[in-house]
Amino acid sequence: MQLISDINTDARHPKSRPGSYEWWYFDGISEDGDYQVVIIFYDGCPFSTRYMKNVEKNPDGEWSMPGGHPAISISLYHKGETIFYSMSQYPPDRCSFDDKKAALTVGENSIRYTERERHGSDGFGSYDIRINERLPSGDELKGIITFSGMDPNESLFSEEKRTAESEGRKKTKKDSTGTPSAETRSKKSDGDESGHLWNLIYPRANMHCRINLISNGLITRDLIFEGTGYHDHNVGNEPMKESFRDWYWGRVHFPQATLVYYVMNKKSGKDHRAWLISPDNRRLLYSLELTRQRKKKTNGFFLRPARHLTFEDNELSIEVRHRTLSDSGPFYCRYMSTAILTHPTLETQSASGIAEYIRPERIHRRIYWPLVHMRFRYVDQKPHWVQKSPRLFRWTW
């Protein structure tokens, strides 16, 4: 895993391998905690069965490359319950991705970044996300969501990088063949190298949301709310199942800090990291270690992730509890979480967040594909019969 925090590299990355993928992830929770929203734009959607089939059958073909499979997913929740869901792959000619700046369009949905102010090396900007998604069931979501905040500190993870490089050099020296170890090689993700790039853009952002939830032409909810958001950007140069076995990710906004964590169990080892980051996105306050996973619970598809994760640094302890299962499938779970922060010199703090778990090898099991096709929409072909029925499609949520 290559880890950076650089708003200047939030444009589309070159991807030259079959099965590569890239996504721009945004989420937010309203100030009162009642509404949660998650939006993900994809250049090469790793959940597209059409993409997977092309990679397997014709890896040298044009449709085995990510540019043929752009997509968007939108989830809107009220108190953890889904009130709108879409996962749509669009034809490439209805999409655009800028190679120099954070500007992209998928169907009639778009992202545009604008720098608002700059004082020396400190910048302040905002992402405007325009949503216009209509489903075969008659449900629609229209509106604009803005995420604004301080640009991240590009050297936020510099100490982490120095430690990783030092450990990498030690492991390389111990390799009797004189070549870098598999774990050292897996850290690379530039050019044609395999691996995963994670760009943490906004650990914390101010969110302003104005959206209409529409059913058969009638507005059922006119939503206007402020809240706290998050944005990151991921790039993988090979199918996810080649990089890791499973992955926990989450973020929680405490009043004075944001917790961001990922627990990646790779084929070549483990990569477990967590940080407390200052509210202005400029300082790394603590680096924490995963010390405990417990209360594994099986969902309806025999996926069994841990529901409690504990991270610690000396006397500081944070327990993340995956409280409400908001989205559940054969290879993926999304939770509304609660985190408890304790320290001998501080009052105990509690805050809410969003967490995810994925087991990518299961994406490729064809036994699950009929279930995927009930939810995953290919805009350029006739929709699945379940997607046409408001009641049946909502049942898949």
Residue 308: its pLDDT value, please?
96
At 36-53, the pLDDT tens digits run: 999 999 999 999 999 999
Confidence of residue 103 (pLDDT cuts 50, 70, 90): very high
Residue 161: its pLDDT value, please?
56
Q: Can you say how many angstroms the Cα of residue 254 is from the centroid of all Cα atoms in its chain?
A: 20
Residue 190: its pLDDT value, please?
43
Q: Is 178 left (phi over 0), alpha (psi -120 to 50) or beta?
A: left
Is there a contact between 98 and 115 (Cβ–Cβ < 8 Å)?
no
Q: Where are the alpha helices (DSSP H) in the chain?
A: 49-57, 158-174, 182-186, 240-243, 369-375, 385-388, 390-395
**Rounded Cα–Cα distance for residues 201 and 21 (Å):** 18
Residue 224: its pLDDT value, please?
98
**Rounded Cα–Cα distance for residues 221 and 35 (Å):** 12
**Rounded Cα–Cα distance for residues 260 and 205 (Å):** 13
Residue 340: its pLDDT value, please?
98
Is there a contact between 38 and 354 (Cβ–Cβ < 8 Å)?
yes
pTM value is 0.91
Residues 2-19, mean pLDDT to the nearest whole number? 94
Residue 123: its pLDDT value, please?
80
**Rounded Cα–Cα distance for residues 97 and 275 (Å):** 31
**Rounded Cα–Cα distance for residues 244 and 266 (Å):** 4
Closest alpha carbon to 274 in 283, 266, 265, 263: 263
The chain-wide mean pLDDT, for the chain, equals 90
Closest alpha carbon to 95 in 374, 380, 373, 375: 380
Q: Taking 80 as the threshold, does the pLDDT of residue 128 lie above it?
A: yes
The more confident residue out of 120 and 254 is 254
**Rounded Cα–Cα distance for residues 71 and 90 (Å):** 6
CA distances from 244 to 46, 233, 342, 365 (A): 14, 18, 31, 16
Residue 389: its pLDDT value, please?
95
Pairing type for strands 196-215 and 2-4 reads: parallel
Q: Taking 80 as the threshold, does the pLDDT of residue 278 lie above it?
A: yes
Q: What percent of the chain has pLDDT over 70?
A: 90
Residue 195: its pLDDT value, please?
79
- What is the domain range of residue 28? 2-395
At 310-323, the pLDDT tens digits run: 999 999 999 999 99
Name every residue whose Cβ is closer than 8 Å to that of residue 376 and which is 6 or more positions away in sequence.
47, 48, 49, 87, 88, 89
Q: Which residues pair with 2 in a beta bridge?
A: 197
In the Cβ-directed half-sphere of 177, how many Cα atoms lie within 13 Å? 4
Confidence of residue 121 (pLDDT cuts 50, 70, 90): low
At 324-337, the pLDDT tens digits run: 999 999 999 999 99
Pairing type for strands 81-89 and 376-378 reads: parallel
At 199-249, the pLDDT tens digits run: 999 999 999 999 999 999 999 999 999 999 999 999 999 999 988 899 999
Residue 160: its pLDDT value, please?
66
Q: Taking 80 as the threshold, does the pLDDT of residue 95 lie above it?
A: yes
Region of poorest pLDDT, from 104-113, 157-166, 222-231, 366-375: 157-166
Closest alpha carbon to 102 in 147, 63, 141, 69: 147
**Rounded Cα–Cα distance for residues 261 and 286 (Å):** 12
**Which residue has tokens 């990710």?**
249
- For the chain, give me the number of helices (H) and strands (E)? 7, 21
Is there a contact between 367 and 389 (Cβ–Cβ < 8 Å)?
no
Residue 191: its pLDDT value, please?
39
Q: Which two tokens stand for residue 23?
A: 């996504």
Is there a contact between 279 and 267 (Cβ–Cβ < 8 Å)?
no
* Domain tally, the chain: 1
Exposure b/e, 49-76, CB count within 10 A at least 16 = b: bebbebbeeeeeeebbbbebbbbbbbbb
Confidence of residue 375 (pLDDT cuts 50, 70, 90): very high
Is there a contact between 108 and 95 (Cβ–Cβ < 8 Å)?
no
Q: Which residues pair with 23 in a beta bridge?
A: 42, 234
Confidence of residue 185 (pLDDT cuts 50, 70, 90): very low
